[in-house]
Structure formats: C-alpha cells, structure tokens
Amino acid sequence: MSLFNKIRSSIQPGQKFRTPSKETPFSVKAIDTQHVTFSVGEKSKIKVPATCWEGIPDYLRGRGWVRIGAVHDTADTSTLEAYLDRFVSSSSSSYVVPVLEHIGTVKVERSKPAKVRLIE
C-alpha cells in the first residue's frame, strides 16, 4: 500500500494532532485523492500533495536521524523541511511529521532540535 493510501485509510478529516516541538494543536481539514489539507490556526490552510508524501520515505531512507527543520524562511538543505519545500510553499514539516508518526512511518525525537527517523 502506498504511503498516501495508508494516510487516507488511517486519518480522518477533523482529526487533531500536536506539533512535535511546541505541542501546538492543529487538525486535518480534508483528505482527497491528491492532497492532505491541514487547518493551522484560525484561518490558515496548508495543502500537502500526494507526490510529496510518497517521496518522504525515499528522502529519509539511509539518513538516520534527520532534523525536522520547521522554519518560516529558507530551510537548511539537510532537513525534512527542505524536502517538503519542493512541494509546499509554507512551512509544513511540523504538521507532516505527526501524521507520519501516527501511521508508523517515522519515529520522532522531540528534543531540540526535533528529529525524525524512518522506521523500516
């Protein structure tokens, strides 16, 4: 089963999560055949496309612990945020990581700086 299909079968719209570092609440607004949309704050939405989700395991594979690197500017090139920036125009790693953890794809180290490791 593809990673995106695993997300679609395991996560429901309205499901609530917390960011790894600051424990800020957010929720999944919608999941369709092409995107997961997060509701962040009162009015912000972040759409993460299926192609982005599908590439995450390959990006993480063989790297060990990778910094999440959630920033609202230019991410360090060795972070998960830098990978996500290719697909999403706003900082999204803090929202992607809890979903990946929920479905058993990554392990999260919440110390600062927060990191993820692919579970294989």
Q: Write the Ramachandran bin of 41: left for phi over 0, alpha for psi from -120 to 50, otherwise beta.
A: left
pLDDT score for 57: 97
- Residue pLDDT, tens place only, 65-118: 999 987 655 557 889 999 999 999 888 999 999 999 999 999 999 988 899 999
Taking each helix axis from N to C end, the angle separating 50-60 and 93-102, rounded to the nearest 10 degrees, works out to: 80
Do residues 95 and 108 lie in contact, with contact meaning Cβ atoms separated by under 8 Å? no
The pTM of this model reads: 0.92
pLDDT score for 72: 58
pLDDT score for 112: 86
Q: In which band, very low, low, confident or very high, does the pLDDT at 32 lie, cut at 50, 70 and 90?
A: very high
Do residues 38 and 95 lie in contact, with contact meaning Cβ atoms separated by under 8 Å? yes
Return d(Cα 88, Cα 90) in angstroms, integer: 6
